[in-house]
Amino acid sequence: MNKKDVYEEALELIANNPSLIDEIQVNVNVPFPTAGGSMMWDTVAESNGWKLQKNKITGLGRILDSSNNRHSWGDMSKLRRRLREIVDCYGASNSTSTSTSLANNNKGNSDVTGKLLDLKKLLDAGVISQAEYDRLKCELMNQFKDQIFS
Q: Domain range spanning residue 110?
A: 102-149
Beta bridge partners of 29: none
Q: Is 105 exposed, middle or buried (0-12, 13-18, 19+ CB in 10 A)?
A: exposed
Q: pTM for the complete prediction?
A: 0.64
Q: Are 19 and 52 part of one and the same domain?
A: yes
Q: How far apart are CA 84 and CA 106, in angstroms?
A: 27
Which residues, 6+ apart, have CB-to-CB distance to 17 below 8 Å? 90
pLDDT for 144 beyond 80: no
At 99, the pLDDT band (50, 70, 90 cuts) reads: very low
Residues 83 and 106 both lie in one domain: no
Within 10 Å of residue 85's Cβ, how many Cβ atoms? 16
46 with 80, same domain: the answer is yes
Encode pLDDT of 3-60 as tens digits.
778 899 999 999 988 888 887 777 888 889 999 888 999 999 999 999 999 999 999 9
Q: Going along the chain, which residue ranges are E strands?
A: 32-33, 41-47, 50-55, 61-64, 69-74
> Are 13 and 39 in the same domain?
yes
Q: In percent, how much of the chain has pLDDT > 70?
A: 82
Residue 100 DSSP label: -
Which of the two residues, 72 and 109, has the higher pLDDT score?
72
Asked whether residue 73 is domain-assigned, the answer is yes
Strand 41-47 versus strand 32-33 pairing type: unpaired
Q: Are residues 110 and 137 in the same domain?
A: yes
- Are 72 and 26 in contact, with CB atoms under 8 Å apart? yes
For the beta carbon of residue 149, count every other beta carbon within 10 angstroms.
6
The rounded mean pLDDT for the chain is 80
Residue 30 inside a domain? The answer is yes
Whether the per-residue pLDDT at 94 is higher than 60: the answer is no
Q: How many domains does the chain have?
A: 2
72 occurs within a structural domain: yes
What pLDDT was estimated at residue 1? 61
